[in-house]
Amino acid sequence: MRHATMRCHQLSEHIEVLQMDEVELPEPSDDEIQIEVKACAANFPDILMIQGGYQFKPALPFAPGGEFSGIVAEVGSNVTGFNPGDRVVVGSRVGGFAERINVAAETVRPIPPSVSFAKAAGYATAYLTAYVALAIRGQLKAGETLLVHGAAGGVGMAAVDLGKHMGAKVIATAGSDAKLEVLQTRGADHVINYTCPDGSLGGFREIVKELTAGEGADVIFDPVGGSVFDESMRCINWGGRILTIGFTSGVWPKAAVNHILIKQISVIGVRAGEIGRRDPALGIKCRDAVYELLASGHIDPYVCAHFPLGKAVDALAMLRDRQVIGKVVVTMNGYDPSLD
């Protein structure tokens, strides 16, 4: 049977190279499950893979989309625990921009009854990163002050969500007032627009100090880097922890070692996937913890927009242009998140 799939046939700086194909999908193998996809999250690694700039380089042609949800259509002869009609979520590297896909059974989990396809598709990567950062690497404690940069993005919003669940006072920064309004509705205790009058980032240091009686934040979650990191070094509490998640600013900062010495702070790198590769048992424990938080309703993924498969490029463009608040998803097979 042939199914619509949005695929990349050549690497390019331009995401518009994606094209819709009709792909013949075989029956699932003995250890596979065939999924009728309903929703697939768009993530920055999808863009990087199209551009050839990601560490994992799938063979051409490939369909982007590493986390998606849907309904079990068929199961292989060795598969137990899943049946046609089950609602499931899948963690993979590629393939989700498709109406149907065969996946290894071990990559599949049931969707908790109270969770929509769209929210299920958008939770795993962002919340796992935030969980590893805050619970494992940062050792965030109840009552501490957590400063989250880039808080309107998928990972940043997950950090706000988890920080509140863990009992921290959360200060969230973002680059527009519209994004800050959403963060306030999501429970952030304080919000700051870190865009300076000259258009650069970093106008938050004095506000953070004022909000913390001059002490500074105990834990700083930084996926931005650049001047945001530099300013963070100047508004962190004695003995605090700066969690380096990434560099969306495009600038790799250099830590001022004198600040590290004087304040006895820790600068901690966070790569959630590497945790699981180096310590598989810990990786499984973290994934299970995030899944339980989703199932229990303690975390709530935020989806700001959805696009049909034929407009998957628009979803990626929204992400590329930093217009996404939380997550954006691509939908298939007649699924409409607005009806959930």
The three-state secondary structure class of 7 is: strand
Q: Is residue 279 part of a domain?
A: no
**Are residues 19 and 90 part of one domain?**
yes
**Are residues 117 and 31 part of one domain?**
yes
Mean pLDDT, the chain, as a whole number? 93
Residues 114-142 have a mean pLDDT of 95
The three-state secondary structure class of 218 is: strand
**Are residues 171 and 75 part of one domain?**
no
Q: Is the pLDDT of residue 291 over 80?
A: yes
Tens of pLDDT, residue by residue over 255-284, are 888 889 888 999 999 988 888 889 999 999
**Are residues 248 and 228 part of one domain?**
yes
Tens of pLDDT, residue by residue over 166-195, are 999 999 999 888 999 999 999 999 999 988
Q: Is residue 112 part of a domain?
A: yes
Instruction: Examine the fold and report which residue of 227, 255, 274 is the final residue of a domain before the chain moves on.
Output: 274
- d(CA 119, CA 109) in angstroms, rounded, equals 14
Eight-class DSSP state of 12? -
Give the per-residue pLDDT at 198.
66
Residues 17-38 have a mean pLDDT of 96
- Which residues is 69 bridged to in the sheet? 39, 89
**Are residues 211 and 74 part of one domain?**
no
Tens of pLDDT, residue by residue over 61-111, are 999 999 999 999 999 999 999 999 999 999 989 999 999 999 999 999 999
Eight-class DSSP state of 339? G
Helical axes 44-51 vs 312-320, angle rounded to 10°: 100
Q: Is residue 94 part of a domain?
A: yes
Tens of pLDDT, residue by residue over 328-339, are 999 999 999 988
Tens of pLDDT, residue by residue over 211-261, are 999 999 999 999 988 889 999 999 999 999 999 998 877 778 888 888 898
Residues 290-313 have a mean pLDDT of 95
Q: Is residue 288 part of a domain?
A: no
Q: Is residue 293 part of a domain?
A: no
**Are residues 223 and 131 part of one domain?**
yes
Q: Is residue 252 part of a domain?
A: yes
- d(CA 201, CA 116) in angstroms, rounded, equals 35
What percent of the chain has pLDDT above 70?
99
Instruction: Examine the fold and report which residue of 257, 274, 291 is the final residue of a domain before the chain moves on.
Output: 274
Q: Is residue 84 part of a domain?
A: yes
Q: How far is CA 158 from CA 97, 151, 170, 285, 290, in A?
A: 23, 8, 12, 18, 11
Give the per-residue pLDDT at 272.
87
**Are residues 196 and 181 part of one domain?**
yes
Give the per-residue pLDDT at 105.
96
Write the single-letter amino acid at 10: Q
Q: Is the pLDDT of residue 117 over 70?
A: yes
Is residue 328 a contact partner of residue 41, using CB atoms and an 8 Å limit? yes
Q: Is the pLDDT of residue 199 over 80?
A: no
**Are residues 247 and 148 part of one domain?**
yes
**Are residues 104 and 198 part of one domain?**
no
Q: Is residue 145 part of a domain?
A: yes
Domain count, the chain: 2
**Are residues 305 and 269 part of one domain?**
no
Pull the structure tokens for residue 58: 């799938």
Q: Is the pLDDT of residue 151 over 90?
A: yes
Q: How many CA atoms lie within 13 A of 126 on its CB side?
A: 32
**Are residues 249 and 142 part of one domain?**
yes
- The structure's pTM equals 0.91
Domain CATH for 19: 3.90.180.10
Q: Which domain holds residue 129?
A: 125-274
**Are residues 155 and 100 part of one domain?**
no
Give the per-residue pLDDT at 142.
97
